[in-house]
């Protein structure tokens, strides 16, 4: 039986992901440090606990006992307020690293060690951001943390791959129904036009992609980071300032 763990289960992606996984066969452990209550239909397996504590380690160890496969979905993290570097002091930068990098290391290490101890194969999937590949403006700490989590993915892939634990990441771009997208206001149409597919991903698309990437068919992609952004990070600059060919529109 597959035992699945969602860390950040009360979050924007974690909550619908937990509901999606609850409809599948297998056992489910849902973790979030915020006591917001379990997603609909997922009362079982819900725990409000900090992933850096001994309690989290104990929960994971008990949960993996008897498992045939483990699938971890690390969806926790926190997006800080926009701030220029000049106004973003060291304490704020350190907080972004703690919230988005240190917690990732703690979760991956705990689950990998428990899986190794119980000799359970499986996959650990880190839900990251395109900010780890291409910098946002005014999110220096967040982007630095997301870039480092991709490096962590590779490190865990090397050390735990021999134990049949595959580690991989998905770098998620803008999502159509997110709060950050709503906050873009009058700039939204221009930002969407920068995406080669001419739209943002829906939350449902993200959830389904995440669920599939943790399945055994992707285990050989050990250490890989998948961009899920409609091609946004592939371009050198915005189409709005690109010099078009003379025959543009002649098709």
* Catalytic sites, residue numbers: 142
> According to the 3-state scheme, what is the secondary structure of 127-150?
EEEHHHCCCCCCCHHHHHHHHHHH
Side-chain half-sphere of 20: how many Cα atoms within 13 Å? 18
Which has the closest alpha carbon to 138: 185, 180, 189, 87?
87
Q: What single string gives the DSSP state of each residue in 61-122? A: HHHHTT-SEEEEEE----PPPP--GGG--HHHHHHHHIIIIIHHHHHHHHHHHHHHHTT--E
Q: What is the distance of C-alpha 6 from the center of its chain?
A: 11
> According to the 3-state scheme, what is the secondary structure of 151-187?
HHHHHHHHHHHHHCEEEEEEEECCECCCHHHHHCHHH
Q: Please give the Cα distance from 127 to 169 (Å, whole number).
A: 6
């Amino acid at each position: 039986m597959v035992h699945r763990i969602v860390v950040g289960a009360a979050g924007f992606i974690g909550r619908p992901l937990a509901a999606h996984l609850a409809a599948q066969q297998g056992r489910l452990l849902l973790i979030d440090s915020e006591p917001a209550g379990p997603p609909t239909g997922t009362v079982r397996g819900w725990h409000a606990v900090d992933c850096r504590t001994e309690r989290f380690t104990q929960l994971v160890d008990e949960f993996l006992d008897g498992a045939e496969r483990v699938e971890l979905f690390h969806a926790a993290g926190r997006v800080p307020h926009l701030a220029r570097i000049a106004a973003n002091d060291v304490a704020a930068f350190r907080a972004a690293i703690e919230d988005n990098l240190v917690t990732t290391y703690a979760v991956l290490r705990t689950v990998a060690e428990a899986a190794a101890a119980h000799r359970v194969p499986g996959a650990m999937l880190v839900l990251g951001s395109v900010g780890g590949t291409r910098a946002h403006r005014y999110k220096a700490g967040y982007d630095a943390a997301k870039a480092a989590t991709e490096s962590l993915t590779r490190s865990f892939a090397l050390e735990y791959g021999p134990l049949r634990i595959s580690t991989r990441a998905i770098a998620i771009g803008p999502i159509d129904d997110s709060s950050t997208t709503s906050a873009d206001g009058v700039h939204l149409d221009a930002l969407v036009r920068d995406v080669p597919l001419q739209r943002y991903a829906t939350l449902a698309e993200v959830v389904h992609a995440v669920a599939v990437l943790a399945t055994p068919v992707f285990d050989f992609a050990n250490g890989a980071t998948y961009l899920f952004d409609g091609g946004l990070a592939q371009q050198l600059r915005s189409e709005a300032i690109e010099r078009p060919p003379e025959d543009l529109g002649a098709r």
